[in-house]
Amino acid sequence: MDLPFNQPGRFWRGNLHTHSNRSDGALSPEETVRYYREAGYDFLAVTDHFRAEYGFPLTDTRPLRVPGFTTLLGAELHAPRTEAGPKWHIVAVGLPLGFLPPEPEESGPELARRARAAGAFVGMAHPAASLLTAADAESLDAAHAVEVYNALSAREDRGDSWHLTDVLLNRGHHLNAYAADDAHFQPQDPPGCAAWVQVRAESLEPDAILSSLKAGHYYSSTGPELLDIQLDGGLITVRCSPARKVLLTGCAPGAQVIEGEALTECSLPVAMFGHGHCRVTVEDAAGGRAWSNPIHLGPRLTSSTEA
């Protein structure tokens, strides 16, 4: 079990999926960064659509870094095609400037492999909203993580992609999970700062944040805080901000659930998950949720791509 809570450093709050007016967002990169900085975030990835109609932008936010706030360079990559849609949606955070546009015959999985080889953290963007199938998702073998909650997609009741993530984990794919705004700041959109990651790192340097993302040293939230998760003697003990429900779900149908008022610490048995995986979900009184990354209870399962 490689959870972030005992890792050195502290937690840094950030958003990994954001758009500016370099593609289809309403705000300039400067306005977008200011919005998150003034909301108390520590870092932001502006991930404009890397498509021909926008000039394949890799939005350079380095000049917008200030003490106490940094940015990661990235983009939302697109290439043909999934079973239900004409284009893949792939979040790549940590891309180098000069990353080349896709070749005409380059597939989504090939593009994702190239992004990962270039040093990026690769995310499978809003699978539920894109109607990704298990076959689609398994072909994206360069992904580090699945975007399990997308605040923009929640507007159309397709924000949650945990079901597909559990299917992939049960098939032996080692994937983590993150939540994101997918903010565009268009009039019809939900406000920003609706979903984020808390990344454990020794510093706010972009390389440190990126390394922790790749290592899975983070959790995701739409409100609650996860303060600690420990596995000992067949029990997972959770400490969190006040919650009305703490759940343990994963590789098997069903769940372990504790409900109450202002829960801040509880323990749940892991026996029903055998040597598979489980995850912690915490729900607060306002309906906000926080999710741990998958917790592997047996020997570590590996995908075909590492690093």
Q: Select from 220, 246, 87, 50 the least CA-distant residue to 146.
A: 220
Domain boundaries, the chain: 4-221, 226-296
Q: For CA atoms 34, 35, 36, 37, give the dihedral sign.
A: positive
Task: Give ∠ CA 219-22-212 in degrees, rounded to 5.
Answer: 20
Q: What is the pLDDT along the chain (307 residues), one digit of tens a residue?
A: 579 999 999 999 999 999 999 999 999 999 999 999 999 999 999 999 999 999 999 999 999 999 999 999 999 999 999 999 999 999 999 999 999 999 999 999 999 999 999 999 999 999 999 999 999 999 999 999 999 999 999 999 999 999 999 999 999 999 999 999 999 999 999 888 999 999 999 999 999 999 999 999 999 999 999 999 999 989 999 999 999 999 999 999 999 999 999 999 999 999 999 999 999 999 999 999 999 999 999 854 443 344 4
For strands 196-201 and 218-221, give the pairing: antiparallel
The CATH architecture that domain 4-221 belongs to is Alpha-Beta Barrel (3.20)
Q: What is the CA radius of gyration of the chain?
A: 18
> So what CATH class is 226-296?
mainly beta
